[in-house]
Protein backbone atom coordinates (compact mmCIF):
# COMPACT_ATOMS: atom_id res chain seq x y z
CA UNK A 1 0.00 0.00 0.00
CA UNK A 2 1.28 3.46 -0.88
CA UNK A 3 1.95 5.47 2.27
CA UNK A 4 -0.41 8.42 2.80
CA UNK A 5 1.22 11.76 2.12
CA UNK A 6 1.12 14.40 4.84
CA UNK A 7 -2.05 16.40 4.40
CA UNK A 8 -1.24 19.82 2.98
CA UNK A 9 -2.66 22.82 4.79
CA UNK A 10 -5.71 24.03 2.92
CA UNK A 11 -5.38 27.74 3.40
CA UNK A 12 -2.03 28.81 4.75
CA UNK A 13 -1.67 31.99 2.79
CA UNK A 14 -4.98 33.79 2.81
CA UNK A 15 -5.51 37.28 1.50
CA UNK A 16 -6.54 39.72 4.22
CA UNK A 17 -10.04 39.97 2.74
CA UNK A 18 -10.51 36.21 3.16
CA UNK A 19 -10.24 36.29 6.96
CA UNK A 20 -13.68 35.47 8.35
CA UNK A 21 -15.12 38.57 10.08
CA UNK A 22 -15.90 36.66 13.29
CA UNK A 23 -12.21 35.89 13.95
CA UNK A 24 -10.81 39.33 13.18
CA UNK A 25 -9.39 41.19 16.13
CA UNK A 26 -7.78 44.54 16.73
CA UNK A 27 -5.35 45.13 19.54
CA UNK A 28 -5.24 48.86 18.74
CA UNK A 29 -7.39 50.00 21.69
CA UNK A 30 -4.94 48.35 24.10
CA UNK A 31 -1.61 48.89 22.40
CA UNK A 32 1.43 50.39 24.13
CA UNK A 33 -0.17 50.32 27.55
CA UNK A 34 1.35 49.08 30.81
CA UNK A 35 0.30 49.04 34.45
CA UNK A 36 2.35 50.56 37.24
CA UNK A 37 1.19 51.61 40.70
CA UNK A 38 -2.49 51.30 39.86
CA UNK A 39 -2.19 53.47 36.74
CA UNK A 40 -2.57 52.32 33.17
CA UNK A 41 -0.06 54.39 31.27
CA UNK A 42 0.38 54.74 27.53
CA UNK A 43 3.94 54.56 26.24
CA UNK A 44 5.06 56.94 23.53
CA UNK A 45 8.63 55.64 23.24
CA UNK A 46 10.02 52.78 21.15
CA UNK A 47 7.65 49.95 20.29
CA UNK A 48 7.94 46.32 19.37
CA UNK A 49 5.89 45.17 16.38
CA UNK A 50 4.03 41.96 17.08
CA UNK A 51 3.62 39.56 14.17
CA UNK A 52 1.28 36.62 13.93
CA UNK A 53 2.57 33.21 12.88
CA UNK A 54 -0.27 33.40 10.36
CA UNK A 55 1.04 34.57 6.99
CA UNK A 56 -1.23 36.56 4.69
CA UNK A 57 -0.71 37.02 0.99
CA UNK A 58 -2.13 40.19 -0.47
CA UNK A 59 -0.46 39.73 -3.81
CA UNK A 60 3.15 40.37 -2.85
CA UNK A 61 3.93 36.95 -1.43
CA UNK A 62 3.13 35.55 2.02
CA UNK A 63 4.14 37.67 5.00
CA UNK A 64 3.58 37.31 8.73
CA UNK A 65 0.57 39.42 9.56
CA UNK A 66 1.37 42.44 11.72
CA UNK A 67 -1.02 42.23 14.66
CA UNK A 68 -0.07 45.28 16.67
CA UNK A 69 2.56 46.87 18.86
CA UNK A 70 3.58 46.78 22.46
CA UNK A 71 5.78 49.04 24.54
CA UNK A 72 9.53 48.59 24.74
CA UNK A 73 9.95 50.08 28.19
CA UNK A 74 13.30 51.10 29.61
CA UNK A 75 15.11 50.43 32.87
CA UNK A 76 13.45 53.53 34.34
CA UNK A 77 9.89 52.18 34.01
CA UNK A 78 11.05 48.73 35.14
CA UNK A 79 12.42 50.22 38.35
CA UNK A 80 9.24 52.26 38.79
CA UNK A 81 7.28 49.01 38.65
CA UNK A 82 9.66 47.51 41.22
CA UNK A 83 9.29 50.55 43.50
CA UNK A 84 5.49 50.32 43.21
CA UNK A 85 5.48 46.61 44.10
CA UNK A 86 7.87 47.22 47.04
CA UNK A 87 5.75 50.15 48.29
CA UNK A 88 2.60 48.03 48.09
CA UNK A 89 4.31 45.26 50.02
CA UNK A 90 5.83 47.78 52.48
CA UNK A 91 8.00 45.15 54.18
CA UNK A 92 4.93 43.03 54.81
CA UNK A 93 3.00 45.92 56.39
CA UNK A 94 1.16 47.03 53.24
CA UNK A 95 -2.58 46.95 52.79
CA UNK A 96 -2.44 43.78 50.64
CA UNK A 97 -0.04 41.56 52.64
CA UNK A 98 -1.92 42.42 55.86
CA UNK A 99 -5.41 42.08 54.34
CA UNK A 100 -7.61 39.32 55.68
CA UNK A 101 -7.92 36.18 53.62
CA UNK A 102 -11.61 37.01 53.17
CA UNK A 103 -10.73 40.39 51.67
CA UNK A 104 -8.16 38.94 49.27
CA UNK A 105 -10.64 36.32 48.15
CA UNK A 106 -13.31 38.98 47.62
CA UNK A 107 -10.90 40.97 45.40
CA UNK A 108 -10.12 37.88 43.31
CA UNK A 109 -13.80 37.03 43.06
CA UNK A 110 -14.44 40.54 41.75
CA UNK A 111 -11.67 40.00 39.18
CA UNK A 112 -13.29 36.89 37.64
CA UNK A 113 -16.27 38.56 35.87
CA UNK A 114 -13.97 41.35 34.68
CA UNK A 115 -11.70 38.74 33.17
CA UNK A 116 -14.61 36.90 31.58
CA UNK A 117 -15.77 40.14 30.01
CA UNK A 118 -12.70 40.14 27.74
CA UNK A 119 -12.80 36.40 26.92
CA UNK A 120 -13.58 36.89 23.25
CA UNK A 121 -10.71 39.27 22.52
CA UNK A 122 -8.21 37.24 24.57
CA UNK A 123 -9.23 34.00 22.82
CA UNK A 124 -8.85 35.62 19.40
CA UNK A 125 -5.46 37.03 20.34
CA UNK A 126 -4.37 33.57 21.53
CA UNK A 127 -5.22 32.24 18.05
CA UNK A 128 -3.55 35.08 16.21
CA UNK A 129 -0.48 35.52 18.39
CA UNK A 130 0.58 31.93 18.96
CA UNK A 131 -1.42 29.94 16.40
CA UNK A 132 -3.45 28.05 19.00
CA UNK A 133 -6.60 26.49 17.55
CA UNK A 134 -9.93 28.06 18.53
CA UNK A 135 -11.05 25.14 20.78
CA UNK A 136 -7.64 25.05 22.49
CA UNK A 137 -7.61 28.82 22.94
CA UNK A 138 -11.09 28.70 24.50
CA UNK A 139 -9.99 25.80 26.68
CA UNK A 140 -6.92 27.75 27.83
CA UNK A 141 -9.08 30.69 28.85
CA UNK A 142 -11.78 28.66 30.59
CA UNK A 143 -9.28 26.39 32.32
CA UNK A 144 -7.60 29.51 33.72
CA UNK A 145 -10.89 30.81 35.13
CA UNK A 146 -11.53 27.37 36.65
CA UNK A 147 -8.04 27.46 38.13
CA UNK A 148 -8.79 30.79 39.80
CA UNK A 149 -12.00 29.40 41.31
CA UNK A 150 -10.22 26.25 42.47
CA UNK A 151 -7.47 28.39 44.02
CA UNK A 152 -10.05 30.36 45.99
CA UNK A 153 -11.60 27.12 47.27
CA UNK A 154 -8.18 25.69 48.18
CA UNK A 155 -7.28 28.83 50.14
CA UNK A 156 -10.58 28.73 52.01
CA UNK A 157 -9.84 25.15 52.98
CA UNK A 158 -6.26 25.95 54.07
CA UNK A 159 -7.53 28.91 56.05
CA UNK A 160 -10.28 26.92 57.76
CA UNK A 161 -7.68 24.40 58.90
CA UNK A 162 -5.44 27.21 60.18
CA UNK A 163 -8.19 28.97 62.14
CA UNK A 164 -7.54 27.05 65.32
CA UNK A 165 -4.97 26.92 68.07
CA UNK A 166 -2.61 24.05 68.77
CA UNK A 167 -1.23 23.37 72.23
CA UNK A 168 2.06 21.45 72.34
CA UNK A 169 4.38 21.08 75.32
CA UNK A 170 2.71 23.96 77.13
CA UNK A 171 2.91 26.31 74.15
CA UNK A 172 -0.16 27.71 72.42
CA UNK A 173 0.38 28.31 68.72
CA UNK A 174 -1.50 29.44 65.69
CA UNK A 175 0.16 28.65 62.37
CA UNK A 176 -0.84 30.32 59.11
CA UNK A 177 0.70 30.82 55.70
CA UNK A 178 2.02 34.32 55.03
CA UNK A 179 3.36 36.00 51.89
CA UNK A 180 7.01 36.08 50.82
CA UNK A 181 7.30 39.58 49.35
CA UNK A 182 7.69 40.82 45.79
CA UNK A 183 7.24 38.22 43.06
CA UNK A 184 8.57 38.53 39.52
CA UNK A 185 6.32 36.47 37.31
CA UNK A 186 7.15 35.40 33.75
CA UNK A 187 5.13 32.83 31.80
CA UNK A 188 5.86 30.97 28.54
CA UNK A 189 4.57 31.51 25.00
CA UNK A 190 2.78 28.16 24.63
CA UNK A 191 0.31 28.77 27.47
CA UNK A 192 0.80 32.52 27.79
CA UNK A 193 -2.40 33.06 29.76
CA UNK A 194 -2.77 29.82 31.70
CA UNK A 195 0.80 29.25 32.77
CA UNK A 196 1.33 32.90 33.66
CA UNK A 197 -1.81 32.84 35.79
CA UNK A 198 -1.03 29.53 37.49
CA UNK A 199 1.80 31.38 39.24
CA UNK A 200 0.38 34.94 39.25
CA UNK A 201 -2.93 34.00 40.91
CA UNK A 202 -1.57 31.93 43.83
CA UNK A 203 1.20 34.49 44.40
CA UNK A 204 -1.38 37.27 44.48
CA UNK A 205 -3.95 35.60 46.71
CA UNK A 206 -1.30 34.71 49.28
CA UNK A 207 -0.63 38.44 49.79
CA UNK A 208 2.50 38.97 47.69
CA UNK A 209 2.86 41.93 45.32
CA UNK A 210 3.81 41.36 41.71
CA UNK A 211 5.69 42.47 38.67
CA UNK A 212 4.49 40.54 35.64
CA UNK A 213 6.33 40.44 32.33
CA UNK A 214 4.29 38.73 29.60
CA UNK A 215 6.16 36.43 27.20
CA UNK A 216 7.64 37.61 23.89
CA UNK A 217 4.98 35.71 21.91
CA UNK A 218 1.49 35.70 23.40
CA UNK A 219 1.98 39.19 24.75
CA UNK A 220 -0.80 41.44 23.39
CA UNK A 221 -3.45 39.18 24.92
CA UNK A 222 -2.51 40.41 28.40
CA UNK A 223 -3.33 44.03 27.56
CA UNK A 224 -7.16 43.76 27.65
CA UNK A 225 -6.87 42.55 31.26
CA UNK A 226 -5.10 45.61 32.65
CA UNK A 227 -8.30 47.40 33.75
CA UNK A 228 -9.47 44.30 35.60
CA UNK A 229 -6.20 44.17 37.57
CA UNK A 230 -6.19 47.91 38.18
CA UNK A 231 -9.77 47.94 39.49
CA UNK A 232 -9.74 44.68 41.48
CA UNK A 233 -6.58 45.09 43.60
CA UNK A 234 -4.96 47.91 45.59
CA UNK A 235 -2.50 50.06 43.65
CA UNK A 236 0.97 48.65 43.14
CA UNK A 237 -0.11 45.08 43.95
CA UNK A 238 -0.06 43.99 40.30
CA UNK A 239 2.30 45.77 37.92
CA UNK A 240 2.59 44.62 34.32
CA UNK A 241 5.41 45.70 32.06
CA UNK A 242 6.49 45.03 28.47
CA UNK A 243 9.92 45.19 26.89
CA UNK A 244 13.17 43.44 26.18
CA UNK A 245 14.12 41.05 28.99
CA UNK A 246 17.73 42.23 29.28
CA UNK A 247 16.66 45.86 29.52
CA UNK A 248 13.79 45.55 31.98
CA UNK A 249 14.32 42.31 33.90
CA UNK A 250 18.07 42.49 34.59
CA UNK A 251 17.86 45.70 36.67
CA UNK A 252 14.89 44.34 38.62
CA UNK A 253 16.73 41.15 39.56
CA UNK A 254 20.02 42.94 40.19
CA UNK A 255 18.28 45.23 42.69
CA UNK A 256 18.05 42.30 45.09
CA UNK A 257 14.51 43.40 46.02
CA UNK A 258 12.73 40.46 44.40
CA UNK A 259 11.83 37.66 46.79
CA UNK A 260 10.38 35.11 44.37
CA UNK A 261 11.12 34.35 40.75
CA UNK A 262 8.25 32.50 39.07
CA UNK A 263 9.56 31.63 35.65
CA UNK A 264 8.46 29.19 32.97
CA UNK A 265 10.95 28.90 30.14
CA UNK A 266 14.42 27.51 29.59
CA UNK A 267 16.88 26.45 32.30
CA UNK A 268 19.53 28.63 30.62
CA UNK A 269 17.50 31.80 31.17
CA UNK A 270 16.42 30.67 34.66
CA UNK A 271 20.08 30.22 35.68
CA UNK A 272 21.02 33.57 34.21
CA UNK A 273 18.25 35.33 36.13
CA UNK A 274 19.00 33.61 39.41
CA UNK A 275 22.72 34.38 39.16
CA UNK A 276 21.96 38.08 38.69
CA UNK A 277 20.35 38.30 42.12
CA UNK A 278 22.96 39.74 44.53
CA UNK A 279 21.78 37.54 47.43
CA UNK A 280 20.64 34.33 45.67
CA UNK A 281 19.72 32.53 48.90
CA UNK A 282 17.01 35.15 49.44
CA UNK A 283 15.43 34.36 46.09
CA UNK A 284 12.89 31.55 46.05
CA UNK A 285 12.55 30.12 42.56
CA UNK A 286 9.44 28.46 41.19
CA UNK A 287 10.50 27.17 37.79
CA UNK A 288 8.93 25.21 34.95
CA UNK A 289 11.67 24.33 32.44
CA UNK A 290 12.47 21.92 29.59
CA UNK A 291 11.46 18.29 29.23
CA UNK A 292 12.11 15.34 26.95
CA UNK A 293 9.21 13.09 27.92
CA UNK A 294 9.60 9.61 26.42
CA UNK A 295 6.85 7.17 25.50
CA UNK A 296 7.75 3.50 25.90
CA UNK A 297 5.80 1.19 23.60
CA UNK A 298 6.03 -2.39 24.82
CA UNK A 299 5.43 -5.49 22.65
CA UNK A 300 1.97 -6.12 24.17
CA UNK A 301 0.73 -2.51 23.84
CA UNK A 302 -2.77 -1.99 22.43
CA UNK A 303 -1.55 -0.42 19.20
CA UNK A 304 -4.72 1.47 18.21
CA UNK A 305 -4.95 3.17 21.57
CA UNK A 306 -1.18 3.75 21.70
CA UNK A 307 -1.18 5.41 18.29
CA UNK A 308 -4.09 7.66 19.31
CA UNK A 309 -2.41 8.72 22.55
CA UNK A 310 1.02 9.17 20.93
CA UNK A 311 -0.40 11.35 18.15
CA UNK A 312 -2.15 13.55 20.71
CA UNK A 313 0.82 13.46 23.05
CA UNK A 314 3.43 14.39 20.46
CA UNK A 315 1.50 16.74 18.19
CA UNK A 316 -1.26 18.56 20.14
CA UNK A 317 -0.56 22.23 19.62
CA UNK A 318 2.21 21.22 17.22
CA UNK A 319 4.18 19.53 20.02
CA UNK A 320 4.67 22.89 21.75
CA UNK A 321 3.78 21.68 25.24
CA UNK A 322 6.23 21.06 28.05
CA UNK A 323 4.24 17.86 28.63
CA UNK A 324 4.44 16.72 24.98
CA UNK A 325 5.88 13.31 24.17
CA UNK A 326 9.27 14.25 22.74
CA UNK A 327 10.71 10.85 21.86
CA UNK A 328 9.00 7.50 21.28
CA UNK A 329 10.85 4.30 22.22
CA UNK A 330 9.19 1.40 20.45
CA UNK A 331 10.03 -2.26 21.00
CA UNK A 332 11.71 -3.57 17.86
CA UNK A 333 9.19 -6.44 17.57
CA UNK A 334 6.28 -3.98 17.01
CA UNK A 335 8.21 -1.08 15.46
CA UNK A 336 7.08 -1.64 11.84
CA UNK A 337 3.41 -2.03 12.72
CA UNK A 338 3.48 0.94 15.06
CA UNK A 339 5.31 3.24 12.63
CA UNK A 340 2.94 2.42 9.78
CA UNK A 341 -0.18 3.11 11.85
CA UNK A 342 1.38 6.15 13.50
CA UNK A 343 2.49 7.86 10.29
CA UNK A 344 -0.91 7.17 8.69
CA UNK A 345 -2.62 8.81 11.67
CA UNK A 346 -0.24 11.79 11.49
CA UNK A 347 -0.95 12.19 7.77
CA UNK A 348 -4.65 12.58 8.53
CA UNK A 349 -4.17 15.52 10.90
CA UNK A 350 -5.80 18.57 9.34
CA UNK A 351 -3.52 21.59 9.02
CA UNK A 352 -4.56 25.17 8.43
CA UNK A 353 -5.60 28.38 10.11
CA UNK A 354 -6.20 28.24 13.88
CA UNK A 355 -9.86 29.19 13.52
CA UNK A 356 -10.75 26.57 10.90
CA UNK A 357 -12.99 23.82 12.30
CA UNK A 358 -11.15 20.58 12.99
CA UNK A 359 -7.66 21.99 12.32
CA UNK A 360 -4.97 20.48 14.50
CA UNK A 361 -1.69 21.65 12.99
CA UNK A 362 -1.00 25.36 12.65
CA UNK A 363 1.85 27.78 11.87
CA UNK A 364 4.59 28.19 14.50
CA UNK A 365 5.06 31.50 16.34
CA UNK A 366 8.80 31.46 17.09
CA UNK A 367 11.09 33.27 14.64
CA UNK A 368 13.25 30.84 12.67
CA UNK A 369 11.66 27.77 14.29
CA UNK A 370 10.93 25.75 11.10
CA UNK A 371 14.53 26.21 9.99
CA UNK A 372 15.87 25.11 13.39
CA UNK A 373 13.62 22.04 13.36
CA UNK A 374 14.91 21.24 9.87
CA UNK A 375 18.51 21.44 11.08
CA UNK A 376 17.74 18.92 13.85
CA UNK A 377 16.15 16.51 11.39
CA UNK A 378 18.96 16.95 8.83
CA UNK A 379 21.50 16.04 11.48
CA UNK A 380 19.49 12.96 12.54
CA UNK A 381 19.25 11.94 8.85
CA UNK A 382 23.01 12.35 8.45
CA UNK A 383 23.29 9.94 11.38
CA UNK A 384 21.15 7.21 9.87
CA UNK A 385 17.51 8.26 10.36
CA UNK A 386 14.88 9.11 7.74
CA UNK A 387 11.55 10.90 7.66
CA UNK A 388 9.07 8.07 7.33
CA UNK A 389 5.87 10.05 6.63
CA UNK A 390 5.82 11.35 3.05
CA UNK A 391 5.71 15.17 3.08
CA UNK A 392 6.89 15.30 6.69
CA UNK A 393 9.28 18.14 7.46
CA UNK A 394 8.19 20.31 4.52
CA UNK A 395 8.29 24.00 5.31
CA UNK A 396 5.81 26.57 4.02
CA UNK A 397 6.60 29.94 5.59
CA UNK A 398 5.93 29.53 9.31
CA UNK A 399 4.36 26.09 8.89
CA UNK A 400 6.38 22.93 9.47
CA UNK A 401 4.71 19.67 8.43
CA UNK A 402 5.09 17.11 11.25
CA UNK A 403 8.04 14.82 10.68
CA UNK A 404 8.17 11.28 12.04
CA UNK A 405 11.89 10.50 12.18
CA UNK A 406 13.17 6.92 12.53
CA UNK A 407 15.47 5.39 13.68
CA UNK A 408 16.94 8.24 15.71
CA UNK A 409 20.35 7.22 16.98
CA UNK A 410 21.79 8.20 20.33
CA UNK A 411 24.49 10.37 18.74
CA UNK A 412 21.88 12.63 17.07
CA UNK A 413 20.85 15.83 18.85
CA UNK A 414 17.20 14.93 18.31
CA UNK A 415 17.68 12.01 20.69
CA UNK A 416 18.49 14.38 23.57
CA UNK A 417 17.31 17.96 23.00
CA UNK A 418 13.80 19.25 23.47
CA UNK A 419 12.46 20.04 20.00
CA UNK A 420 9.29 21.79 21.27
CA UNK A 421 7.72 21.46 17.84
CA UNK A 422 6.17 19.02 15.37
CA UNK A 423 8.96 16.47 15.09
CA UNK A 424 8.38 12.97 16.44
CA UNK A 425 11.70 11.16 16.95
CA UNK A 426 11.30 7.40 17.24
CA UNK A 427 13.98 4.97 18.44
CA UNK A 428 13.77 1.15 18.60
CA UNK A 429 14.72 -0.78 21.73
CA UNK A 430 15.22 -4.46 22.56
CA UNK A 431 15.43 -4.38 26.35
CA UNK A 432 13.64 -1.96 28.71
CA UNK A 433 17.00 -1.40 30.45
CA UNK A 434 17.96 0.74 27.44
CA UNK A 435 15.02 3.06 28.17
CA UNK A 436 15.73 3.13 31.90
CA UNK A 437 19.33 4.12 31.11
CA UNK A 438 18.12 6.82 28.70
CA UNK A 439 15.92 8.41 31.36
CA UNK A 440 18.63 8.13 34.03
CA UNK A 441 21.22 9.84 31.80
CA UNK A 442 18.82 12.48 30.45
CA UNK A 443 19.12 16.05 31.70
CA UNK A 444 15.36 16.09 32.13
CA UNK A 445 12.99 14.49 34.57
CA UNK A 446 9.38 15.52 33.99
CA UNK A 447 7.13 12.65 32.81
CA UNK A 448 7.02 9.38 30.86
CA UNK A 449 4.21 7.39 29.21
CA UNK A 450 4.22 3.60 29.32
CA UNK A 451 2.15 1.60 26.84
CA UNK A 452 1.70 -2.11 27.56
CA UNK A 453 -0.40 -4.67 29.44
CA UNK A 454 1.97 -6.93 31.37
CA UNK A 455 1.84 -6.02 35.09
CA UNK A 456 5.33 -7.43 35.76
CA UNK A 457 7.04 -5.35 33.06
CA UNK A 458 5.03 -2.24 33.89
CA UNK A 459 5.75 -2.66 37.59
CA UNK A 460 9.48 -2.98 36.91
CA UNK A 461 9.44 0.12 34.72
CA UNK A 462 7.44 2.13 37.26
CA UNK A 463 9.95 1.32 40.00
CA UNK A 464 12.88 2.11 37.72
CA UNK A 465 11.43 5.44 36.60
CA UNK A 466 9.58 6.90 39.54
CA UNK A 467 12.73 8.32 41.12
CA UNK A 468 13.83 9.85 37.82
CA UNK A 469 10.62 11.62 36.72
CA UNK A 470 7.61 13.04 38.54
CA UNK A 471 4.69 11.49 36.70
CA UNK A 472 4.32 8.12 35.00
CA UNK A 473 1.32 7.85 32.69
CA UNK A 474 -0.01 4.36 32.05
CA UNK A 475 -1.48 3.84 28.57
CA UNK A 476 -1.97 7.58 28.22
CA UNK A 477 -0.11 10.60 26.88
CA UNK A 478 1.76 12.91 29.28
CA UNK A 479 -0.21 15.89 30.57
CA UNK A 480 -0.46 18.45 33.32
CA UNK A 481 -4.11 18.03 34.30
CA UNK A 482 -6.10 17.64 36.41
CA UNK A 483 -4.75 20.89 37.83
CA UNK A 484 -5.18 19.60 41.38
CA UNK A 485 -2.46 16.98 40.68
CA UNK A 486 1.17 17.94 41.39
CA UNK A 487 2.95 19.33 38.35
CA UNK A 488 6.71 19.31 38.68
CA UNK A 489 9.94 17.75 37.45
CA UNK A 490 13.47 16.81 38.42
CA UNK A 491 16.92 17.83 37.09
CA UNK A 492 16.61 20.56 34.41
CA UNK A 493 12.81 20.22 34.18
CA UNK A 494 11.50 22.16 37.16
CA UNK A 495 12.01 23.58 40.61
CA UNK A 496 9.09 23.59 43.02
CA UNK A 497 5.71 21.99 42.58
CA UNK A 498 2.61 23.56 41.12
CA UNK A 499 -0.97 22.41 41.54
CA UNK A 500 -3.88 24.33 42.91
CA UNK A 501 -2.86 23.71 46.53
CA UNK A 502 0.92 23.25 46.05
CA UNK A 503 1.11 26.66 44.38
CA UNK A 504 -0.38 28.30 47.47
CA UNK A 505 2.46 26.76 49.45
CA UNK A 506 5.10 27.71 46.87
CA UNK A 507 4.23 31.40 47.20
CA UNK A 508 4.00 31.55 50.99
CA UNK A 509 5.76 30.54 54.17
CA UNK A 510 4.37 29.32 57.45
CA UNK A 511 4.44 31.91 60.22
CA UNK A 512 3.09 31.40 63.70
CA UNK A 513 2.18 33.21 66.86
CA UNK A 514 3.19 31.26 69.96
CA UNK A 515 2.80 31.88 73.68
CA UNK A 516 3.46 29.95 76.87
CA UNK A 517 0.22 28.59 78.16
CA UNK A 518 -0.79 30.68 81.18
CA UNK A 519 -4.06 32.28 82.28
CA UNK A 520 -2.63 35.70 81.40
CA UNK A 521 -1.55 34.72 77.89
CA UNK A 522 -4.77 32.84 77.26
CA UNK A 523 -6.71 35.99 78.17
CA UNK A 524 -4.54 38.17 75.89
CA UNK A 525 -5.09 35.80 72.97
CA UNK A 526 -8.82 35.64 73.71
CA UNK A 527 -8.99 39.46 73.77
CA UNK A 528 -7.09 39.80 70.48
CA UNK A 529 -9.37 37.26 68.82
CA UNK A 530 -12.73 38.38 70.24
CA UNK A 531 -11.87 42.05 69.84
CA UNK A 532 -10.72 41.34 66.24
CA UNK A 533 -7.43 43.12 67.01
CA UNK A 534 -5.43 41.12 64.42
CA UNK A 535 -6.09 39.83 60.92
CA UNK A 536 -3.49 37.11 61.39
CA UNK A 537 -4.31 35.95 64.91
CA UNK A 538 -7.96 35.19 64.37
CA UNK A 539 -10.38 32.31 64.37
CA UNK A 540 -12.40 33.78 61.50
CA UNK A 541 -12.81 31.52 58.51
CA UNK A 542 -14.76 31.43 55.28
CA UNK A 543 -17.04 28.68 54.02
List the one residue from 323, 499, 501, 508 that touches ligand G3H (CB under 6 A).
Answer: 323
Q: How far apart are CA 525 and CA 479, in angstroms?
A: 47
Closer to ligand G3H by Cβ: residue 72 or 285? 285
Q: How far apart are CA 361 and CA 432, in angstroms?
A: 32
Binding flag, residue 321, ligand G3H (CB under 6 A): yes
CB under 6 A: which stretch of 44-52, 238-246, 316-324, 455-463 binds ligand G3H? 316-324
Nearest-approach distance from CB 150 to ligand G3H, in angstroms: 14
Binding flag, residue 326, ligand G3H (CB under 6 A): no
- The 428-467 contact track toward ligand G3H, x by CB under 6 A, reads ----------------------------------------
Q: How far apart are CA 429 and CA 514, in angstroms?
A: 59
Binding flag, residue 322, ligand G3H (CB under 6 A): yes
Cβ neighbours of residue 110 closer than 8 Å, sequence gap 6 or more: 231, 232
Binding flag, residue 479, ligand G3H (CB under 6 A): yes
Binding flag, residue 6, ligand G3H (CB under 6 A): no
Closer to ligand G3H by Cβ: residue 30 or 191? 191
Binding flag, residue 314, ligand G3H (CB under 6 A): no
Give the three-state DSSP class for 395. Answer: strand
Closest C-alpha among 192, 233, 198 to residue 213: 192
List the one residue from 195, 290, 366, 502 that touches ligand G3H (CB under 6 A).
Answer: 195
Closer to ligand G3H by Cβ: residue 208 or 477? 477
Strands (E), 323-439: 325-331, 386-387, 395-396, 399-400, 403-406, 423-429
Element (H, E) at 124: helix 119-130
Helices (H) and strands (E) in the chain, counts: 15, 25
b/e code 68-97 from CB counts within 10 Å (16+ = b) = bbbbbbbeebbebbbbbbbebbeeeebebb
The site for ligand G3H, by CB under 6 A, has a size of: 9
- Backbone angles phi and psi of 482, in degrees to 5: -60, 150
Closest C-alpha among 154, 240, 156, 153 to residue 193: 240
CB under 6 A: which stretch of 173-181, 305-313, 344-352, 473-481 binds ligand G3H? 473-481
CB under 6 A: which stretch of 76-84, 94-102, 317-325, 342-350 binds ligand G3H? 317-325
Q: How far is CA 47 from the centre of its chain?
A: 26
Nearest-approach distance from CB 322 to ligand G3H, in angstroms: 3
- The 155-194 contact track toward ligand G3H, x by CB under 6 A, reads -----------------------------------xx---
Crossing angle of helices 75-89 and 245-254, in 10° steps, is: 40
Closer to ligand G3H by Cβ: residue 162 or 498? 498
Binding flag, residue 480, ligand G3H (CB under 6 A): yes
Q: Which residues bind ligand G3H (CB under 6 A)?
A: 190-191, 195, 321-323, 479-481
Amino acid sequence: MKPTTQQKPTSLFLAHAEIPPEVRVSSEPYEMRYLIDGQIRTWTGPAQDIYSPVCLDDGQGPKRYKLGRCALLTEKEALEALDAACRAYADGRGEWPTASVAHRIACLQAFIPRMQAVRSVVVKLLMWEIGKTLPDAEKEFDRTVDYIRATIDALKETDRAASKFAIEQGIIGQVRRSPLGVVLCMGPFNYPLNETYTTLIPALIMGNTLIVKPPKYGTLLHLPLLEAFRDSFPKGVVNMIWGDGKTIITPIIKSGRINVLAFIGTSKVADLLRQQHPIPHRLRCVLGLEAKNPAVILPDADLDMTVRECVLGSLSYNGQRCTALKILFVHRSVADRFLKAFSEAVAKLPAGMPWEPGVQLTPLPEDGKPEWLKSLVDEAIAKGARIINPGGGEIQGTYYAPAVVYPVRSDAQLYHVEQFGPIVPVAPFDDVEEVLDYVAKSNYGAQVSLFGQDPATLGRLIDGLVNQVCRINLNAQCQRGPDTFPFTGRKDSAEGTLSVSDALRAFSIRSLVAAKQSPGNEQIIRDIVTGRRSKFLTTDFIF
